Amino acid sequence: MNIWHFVLREIRHRKLNALLTAVSVAVATACLSGALVLLKADAESSEKALAAKQQAVESAGAELQDAMRKIMKGLGFNVVILPKDQDLQEMHLTGMINKTMPEDYVDRLANSNIVTVNHLLPTVTKKLNWPEQNGLPIVLYGTRGEVPIAHRDPKKPLLDAVPRGSMIVGYQIGLKLGLGDGAEVTLLGKPFKILKTHGERGSIDDSTVWINLREAQEMLGMENLIHAIQALECHCAGDRISQIRQEIISILPGTQAIERGAPALARAEARDQAKVTAQQSLADEIESRNELRGQRERFAAFMVPLATLGCALLMGLTTLANVRQRRQEIAILGALGLRSRQVLGIFLGKALLIGVVGAIVGLIVGALVGGVLGGSEGGAGVDGATVALSFALAIGVALLGSWLPALIASRQDAATVLQQD
């Protein structure tokens, strides 16, 4: 015979009372564990959603970058390397370069360790009137195709060289000559075969004739000289142009480098802006979710104690009813010699047992409900801390609610009760 024997027999005898107290403890525990599971499930769900969004932003960024590469190819070059003494003001006004530099500059650059430029294209350009075509004004453009950069793996060229004896003509030239591909023409006394006529570009390209660099140099008396090196697909978006300039000038001191292709730059900036916007949108979503989580936490921080208090009160009232119901029993136990602390132990032992049962039931119910509402599996959100907190709360509610009634029971005057009977 011990206190637990009394407790278990009494619970079995007064099932409804035990059930009510266990339910009130379970409700408080379910509120807590449910809130914890729900908040955890919400946090996990947010993390997943944000990770997915982050991935989408990165993927979109990569796609934009790829698209940018193609756009840059279509728009032209990013950096033009010019002789150092070229008057840029004059160049911008006339669209032509009148100073030259040695052709081997391009080889020096290609054989250097330059890392900011992907493709190199040496050119000569000159405005002239095509004597064999009634003085038709054209821009003669001599190119030898791309010069591979020695220290890199070969990249697929963006532009191919024009073979000797061939020419490519712009849209307007083609229109004015009225000749198709394969037609033969003469330029400055040299015969050429039209390799291709470009479609309309709406730029100076429409009035340009592209021939082999070597032939252009011979025709213009510029052997081993070039006007410019076009650096294609430079990594020059944003502030890096200054770095590229420094790198080029350190290799080729007799040159200057300018950025060309403002539309490409604008698009690069737009791409960067799009990335920034997407990142800002992601940051906004994180903030929004954090705010929502904060609201939920504040709500739980208010509701859980309220529910706990209500359940503790219900537990207290039910225990008080139990104490009143057991007045005679307590009195006779007192008459038999039970100490106050033993009577207290009987009631608090019952509360402890009910607290444990309520914790188990409440934890299961809370985890299931929280899991369902939070959109995750029930058990997924239950961790050690949730279990520990649930048990602490359940036992706390049970003991707190029972404390006062148990104290009343332990201090009950046995003689008064026995006299009343």
Partner 1 sequence: MIRLDKVGHHYSSPDGGDVVAIKDVNLSVAAGKFVALKGPSGCGKSTLLLIAGGLLRPTSGDVEIAGVEPYKLSLEERAAFRANTVGFVFQQFHLVPYLDVLDNVLAPSLASGRKDWKRAEALVEQFGLTHRAHHTPSALSTGERQRAAMARALYNEPKVLLADEPTGNLDPENAAIVLKQLVAFADQGGAVLMVTHASDASSVADEIITLG
Q: Closest separation between CB of residue 21 and partner 1, Å?
A: 16
Tell me the closest approach of the beta carbon of residue 339 to partner 1, in angstroms. Answer: 5
* Candidate segments 11-19, 147-155, 222-230, 254-262, binder of partner 1 by CB under 8 A: 11-19
Least distance between partner 1 and beta carbon 11 (Å): 9
Strand partners of residue 194? 167
CA dist., res. 161 & res. 143, Å (int) = 6
Find the binder of partner 1 among 180, 202, 221, 337 (CB under 8 A): 337
Position 249, amino acid:
I
Residues 6+ apart with CB under 8 A from 15: none
Q: How far is the CB of 5 from partner 1 (least distance, A)?
A: 7
Site for partner 1 in 342-381 (CB under 8 A): 342
DSSP bridge pairs for 79: 231, 259
Residue closer to partner 1 (CB basis): 354 or 414: 414
> What are the C-alpha distances in Å from 288 to residues 36, 49, 50?
20, 13, 11
Stretch that binds partner 1, among 117-125, 210-218, 307-315, 339-347 (CB under 8 A): 339-347
The one among 175, 306, 335, 404 contacting partner 1 by CB under 8 A:
335
One-letter amino acid identity for 80? V
CB of 344 to partner 1, least distance (A): 12
Task: Give least dist CB 15 to partner 1, A.
Answer: 11
Q: Does 106 bind partner 1 (CB under 8 A)?
A: no
Residue type (1 letter), 385: A
Backbone φ and ψ of 72, nearest 5°: -65, -40
Least distance to partner 1, CB of residue 327, Å: 11
What are the residues facing 68 on neighbouring strands? Answer: none
Contact between 14 and partner 1 by CB under 8 A: the answer reads: yes
Q: What is the DSSP string of 339-396?
A: -HHHHHHHHHHHHHHHHHHHHHHHHHHHHHHHHHHHTS-GGGG--HHHHHHHHHHHHH
Among positions 280, 297, 339, 388, the unique one binding partner 1 when judged by CB under 8 A: 339
- Using CB under 8 A, which of 334, 378, 401, 405 touches partner 1? 334
Asked if 93 interacts with partner 1 (CB under 8 A), we say no
- The CB-of-335 to partner 1 minimum distance in angstroms stands at 5
Among 153, 180, 182, 419, binds partner 1 (CB under 8 A): 419
Cβ neighbour number for residue 48 with a 10 Å cutoff? 10
Report if residue 6 touches partner 1, rule: CB under 8 A.
yes
Q: Give the CA diameter of the chain.
A: 140
Nearer to partner 1, 134 or 420 (CB): 420
Q: How far is the CB of 319 from partner 1 (least distance, A)?
A: 16
> Strand, helix or coil at 118?
coil
Footprint of partner 1 on residues 242-301 (CB under 8 A)? Answer: none
The residue (of 65 and 325) whose beta carbon lies closer to partner 1 is: 325
Rg (CA), the chain: 44
Q: How far is the CB of 340 from partner 1 (least distance, A)?
A: 7
Toward partner 1, which CB reaches closer, 89 or 419? 419
Q: Tell me if 179 sits within 8 A of 185, measured CB to CB.
A: yes
- Please work out the total of residues on this chain that contact partner 1, with binding judged by CB under 8 A: 28
Burial of 310 from C-beta contacts in 10 A (0-12 / 13-18 / 19+)? middle
Q: Closest CB to partner 1 among 338 and 365?
A: 338
333 touching partner 1, by CB under 8 A: yes
Of residues 53 and 327, the one with the C-beta less far from partner 1: 327
Residues 310-329 binding partner 1 (CB under 8 A) are 328-329
Go through 172-204 and write b for each residue having 16 or more CB atoms within 10 A of its CB, e for each that does not. Answer: bbbebbeeeeeeebebeeeebebbebbeeeeee
3-state percent breakdown (helix, strand, coil) of the chain, nearest 5 = 65, 15, 20
Contact set with partner 1 (CB under 8 A)? 1-3, 5-6, 9-10, 12-14, 328-329, 331-340, 342, 414-415, 418-419, 421
